[in-house]
Amino acid sequence: MGEKMGKSLNQPLMIDNRLGGNGWIAADVVRKSAVDGHTFLQVDNTHVSLQQHVFKKMPFEFNKEFEPAAPFYWTNFFIVVPININWNSVVDLVAAAKEKKGTLTYRSWGIGSAGDVGAAMLEAEIGAPMSHIPFKELPQVYTTVANGDVDWTFGTAASAGPLYRAKKVKFLAIAAPKRLAGYTDIPTVTEAQGPKYFELKT
């Protein structure tokens, strides 16, 4: 995206990845930068619309200190599990969650993230609690799932796709109304006999 923006702006665009802190670290860097139109912040929609309703206290008022410029993309999430786990559908995950009664683990990239809220939605739909393990850095979320350290997580084609193509993780389903181009062998959550019309996107 940075390369394409640089071409359209006729000048190089430097990407500065600041991981951790639910995106607040990156946002804090941008809010303290010069207000000259040369610094942009790329965040998920959770930062704009969700986090203020999840946390009692935010480090800043996002919608007062930032001006949305344009959406980059929308993407739906896959249910990602270790390659060697004996689950082949959402039905298997749901059955395991109900059997383990709160000890089935899932990982997200922070409290209030799309992964966290999506899992809470899934818990409510299936009527079974699970154990949330938040992590600071997104890439390590998928590494721990691939290693079998946690049972599952949510991931997009961009974030978890490389491990899927390397056969390090499995995608049980996509939380979307229809299958995703390039991943047409992966059913939707509804098609996989999970909660009907279950969708998670950012």
The parent domain of residue 82 ranges over 78-174
| 49 close to 59: Cβ distance less than 8 angstroms | no
Record the tokens describing residue 117, joined without a space. 């809220």
Instruction: Provide the CA 2 distance to its chain's centre, in angstroms.
Output: 20
Write the pLDDT tens digit of every residue in 189-198: 999 999 999 9
Return the DSSP state at 179.
Answer: P
Assess if residue 197 is contained within a domain: no
What digits encode the pLDDT tens for the residues 155-200? 999 999 999 999 999 999 999 999 999 999 999 999 999 999 999 9
Domain-located, residue 182? no
**94 and 163 housed in the same domain:** yes
pLDDT at position 120: 96
Query: Would you say residue 179 lies in a domain?
Result: no
pLDDT score at 1: 81
Domains in the chain, number: 2
- Asked whether residue 167 is assigned to any structural domain, the reply reads yes
DSSP 8-state code for residue 187: P
Same domain, 89 and 61: no
Q: Is residue 202 part of a domain?
A: no
Helix, strand and coil percent figures for the chain, each rounded to 5: 35, 15, 50
CATH assignment of the domain containing 153: 3.40.190.10
Does residue 93 sit in the same domain as residue 156? yes
Q: What pLDDT score does 91 carry? A: 97
Residues in the chain, overall count: 202
- pLDDT, tens digit, 9 for 90 and up, residues 61-100: 888 889 888 888 889 999 999 999 999 999 999 999 999 9
Q: Give domain status of residue 90, yes or no.
A: yes
For 162-173, b/e burial (b = at least 16 CB within 10 A) is ebbeeebbbbbb
